[in-house]
Structure 1
Amino acid sequence: MSFSVKVEPSGHTFPVEADEPVLDAALRHGLTLPYGCRNGACGSCMGKVVEGKIAYPDGELPPALTEEQAIAGMALFCQARARGDLIIETREVAEGQDIPIKKLPTRIAEMSRLNHDVMLLKLKLPASERLQFLAGQYVDFVLKDGRRRSFSLANAPHDDAFLVLHIRHVEGGRFTGEVFDKMQVKDILRIEGPFGGFYLREESDRPIIFMAGGTGFAPIKGMIEHAFALGSERPMHLYWGARAARDLYMASLPEQWLKAHANFRYTPVLSEPMDEDNWQGRTGYVHEAIVQDYPELGGYDIYASGPPPMVYAGQAMFPAHGLDLDHYYSDAFEYNRD
């Protein structure tokens, strides 16, 4: 059985199953309500039930909710279950500065090679913690000697049981060398975040062009999956640039999106395909492929993520094709230096 939840003052609505927390349902449908621990201990997700009834597991109030607050209609939406249609009052997170930055320990839950030089890392936070973030943001690893290394989150906000990173091995890179040669599952690392102004602007209704280079696919993956969760009907076209076919390390995933979503298009572009690739697709530079297909960019939002030369080349070229740089959102993967 499912019920309807209306959020005030935004007016957004979403369905919730009778046995799932209201917060989980909101996140699953792309609405970013505030939260912290996800287990009722911190109170960050507190809001008001304006109409309707809720219940809590075992009939007990969560630790961060007092009886007086409950009588006044306040609720912790990470634990509250709907017992009918609801109208709730809570803010929605729209910008990065709305989210508190945390420094947390994490445990490596999974490591897997995605290709010859990209490692997938899944990080698990303590049971009492969750890291809220916007699709496209990044976290810092805080190392023992004070160094920091920044990596974009590859998962969407509703899928936050783990923090997922795509880490490319950099020749001579001290940290990425440790990731590939020394780190193991169950190792403990310390992170801080989320950071960054590179996130999906949900209020826009403009069609989107995504330009990814290499592991710049990671934050864009999170954005696209978040847009799908929102039920967005905005046209989206992903261009993913790489040297050779082996560098498109999750090439089957955009192909799955193509089959499942009529508003999504995908164009991989290789700059140096190898003979064994037998490549029949687009070649050259990815920003040039975009202007070949879209000579007039005035009505678009463009999100660019990956190597700085690609990001800056788009920034230089696209205005000549009508793009207002206020609608060019970018994350250039500059290497951290000690």
Structure 2
Amino acid sequence: MTFQITVQPSGHQFSCEPDETVLAAAMRAGVGLPYGCKNGACSSCKGKVLSGSVTHKAHQERALTKDEEAAGYSLFCCATAQGDLVIEAREVAGSDDYPIRKMPSRVATLEKLAPDVIVMTLQLPANETLKFRAGQYIEFMLRDGKRRSYSLASPPDQDQPLSLHIRHMPGGLFTEQVFSTLKERDILRFEGPMGTFFVREDSDKPMVLLASGTGFAPIKAIIEHLRAQDSQRAMTLYWGGRRPQDLYMDALCRQWEAILPNFSYVPVISAAQPEDHWSGRTGFVHAAVMADLPDLSGHQVYACGAPIVVDSAKRDFVAQCRLPEDEFYADAFTTEADINQP
């Protein structure tokens, strides 16, 4: 039996199999529902069930609380339909412009920029290219069917190897390999591009770019893409880390600030030590945005990093800084540990 899913307010319809999540069915049909992690941890795909019912697979309660579920809200990445559905969701224009492909790649370079961060570049087969939007991610296909997601740090406009920023997670299935046994010329398979976190180029609103840790990767892609397009949009990057070494491309950001008239850079450190000799901004990175820009009503915000940073930014920017909720675009970097939390 196949169920019919209708999306409001667009009226778009697609079919869904009983064992298929609503998001998977939408992606298969080319319907652009928003999504990020695809595993019930980030809440990007949250929407409302207006008619019909769904059953949820395991997910984090912070992504969908019991009260929200009782009010009819759903995480479509882990929701299976129990019959025909009418759902309410904000669709993302252009999210299906580039087909998702499975591709082999060869490790071109491995460069350690911090004790726990490696920048890896991938070379695609000859005459092959990956079309994607600045901010999207790919999924590495590992043994036993497991996958790991990483944002593309390189812009889509340049004929260059794909670049990814990989933070070492002790015990991590993929990162232990990257930091120990992976070497140049090794073959990795991936699928992509994925995700609806990408720059909305139909707006001229000033942009706040908020990153924590390696959440800088897709932000870097966005900045370099807009630079390649000669965009005149105002951009302010707030990059947060615990120690100065966590801002592993600080020199590049300062270079952008020196040469781009519409770009500003605000590094923020939350746990500086005396030996760091840090004299810049301190505290939570999203709090620095609020101090500088108490009225965000005319801005767009692009936030990427740890879930607690993204969640706090959205809550406080909307509640206290008048940011329209639909002008907050985010990609929470969920780890396997995040996914396995209750």
Question: Normalising by structure 2, what TM-score?
Answer: 0.70
Gaps of 5+ in 1: 1-93
Distance 1:162 1:255 in 2: 24
Q: Could you say which residue in structure 2 is the equivalent of 1:43?
A: none
Distance 1:107 1:327 in 2: 37
Deviation at 1:179, TM superposition (A): 0.6
In angstroms, what is the RMSD of aligned CA positions?
A: 1.1
Q: Could you say which residue in structure 1 is the equivalent of 2:335?
A: 335
Matches within 5 A, 1:125-164: 125-164=124-163
Deviation at 1:325, TM superposition (A): 1.1
Deviation at 1:274, TM superposition (A): 1.6
What's the CA shift string for 1:73-102, capped at 9, x where partnerless? Answer: xxxxxxxxxxxxxxxxxxxxx722110110
Distance 1:223 1:213 in 2: 15
Deviation at 1:128, TM superposition (A): 2.6
Q: Could you say which residue in structure 1 is the equivalent of 2:322?
A: 322
Q: Could you say which residue in structure 2 is the equivalent of 1:42?
A: none
Distance 2:274 2:115 in 1: 17
Distance 2:112 2:141 in 1: 23
Q: Could you say which residue in structure 1 is the equivalent of 2:265?
A: 266
Distance 1:120 1:257 in 2: 19
Q: Could you say which residue in structure 2 is the equivalent of 1:100?
A: 99
Tell me the SS of whatever aligns to 1:276: helix
Tell me the SS of whatever aligns to 1:174: coil
Q: 1:328 to 1:310 in 2, by over 3 A?
A: same
Q: Could you say which residue in structure 2 is the equivalent of 1:124?
A: 123
Q: Could you say which residue in structure 2 is the equivalent of 1:206?
A: 205
What's the CA shift string for 1:128-176, capped at 9, x where partnerless? Answer: 3110000000000001210000000000111242110000001221210
Tell me the SS of whatever aligns to 2:232: coil
Distance 1:122 1:296 in 2: 39
Q: 1:151 to 1:160 in 2, by over 3 A?
A: farther
Tell me the SS of whatever aligns to 1:97: coil
Distance 1:96 1:188 in 2: 28
| One-letter amino acid of the structure 2 residue matched with residue 212 of structure 1 | A
Tell me the SS of whatever aligns to 1:249: coil
Q: Could you say which residue in structure 2 is the equivalent of 1:228?
A: 227
Deviation at 1:193, TM superposition (A): 0.1
What's the CA shift string for 1:231-258, capped at 9, x where partnerless? Answer: 1111110000000011110110011101
What's the CA shift string for 1:6-55, capped at 9, x where partnerless? Answer: xxxxxxxxxxxxxxxxxxxxxxxxxxxxxxxxxxxxxxxxxxxxxxxxxx
Q: Could you say which residue in structure 2 is the equivalent of 1:67?
A: none
What's the CA shift string for 1:236-289, capped at 9, x where partnerless? Answer: 100000000111101100111011111100000000012111111000000100
Tell me the SS of whatever aligns to 1:96: coil
| One-letter amino acid of the structure 1 residue matched with residue 251 of structure 2 | S
Tell me the SS of whatever aligns to 1:98: coil
Tell me, yes or no, if structure 1 residue 215 matches structure 2 residue 214. Answer: yes
Deviation at 1:206, TM superposition (A): 0.3
| One-letter amino acid of the structure 2 residue matched with residue 121 of structure 1 | M
Distance 1:129 1:257 in 2: 30
Q: Could you say which residue in structure 1 is the equivalent of 2:34?
A: none
Identity %: 49
| One-letter amino acid of the structure 2 residue matched with residue 300 of structure 1 | H
Distance 1:156 1:234 in 2: 17
| One-letter amino acid of the structure 2 residue matched with residue 111 of structure 1 | L
Count of aligned positions: 245
Tell me, yes or no, if structure 1 residue 190 matches structure 2 residue 189. Answer: yes
Distance 2:173 2:100 in 1: 26
| One-letter amino acid of the structure 2 residue matched with residue 321 of structure 1 | C
Distance 1:156 1:246 in 2: 24
Q: Could you say which residue in structure 2 is the equivalent of 1:311?
A: 310
Q: Could you say which residue in structure 1 is the equivalent of 2:295?
A: 296
Distance 1:106 1:274 in 2: 40
Q: Could you say which residue in structure 2 is the equivalent of 1:91?
A: none
Q: Could you say which residue in structure 1 is the equivalent of 2:4?
A: none
Distance 2:305 2:185 in 1: 29
Tell me the SS of whatever aligns to 1:145: helix
Distance 1:263 1:240 in 2: 17
Tell me the SS of whatever aligns to 1:107: strand
Deviation at 1:196, TM superposition (A): 0.5
Distance 1:112 1:238 in 2: 24
Distance 2:94 2:277 in 1: 44
Q: Which runs of 4+ in 1 moved over 2 A?
A: none
Distance 2:264 2:228 in 1: 17
| One-letter amino acid of the structure 2 residue matched with residue 326 of structure 1 | D
Gaps of 5+ in 2: 1-92
Distance 1:182 1:301 in 2: 41
Question: Normalising by structure 1, what TM-score?
Answer: 0.71
Distance 1:112 1:322 in 2: 41
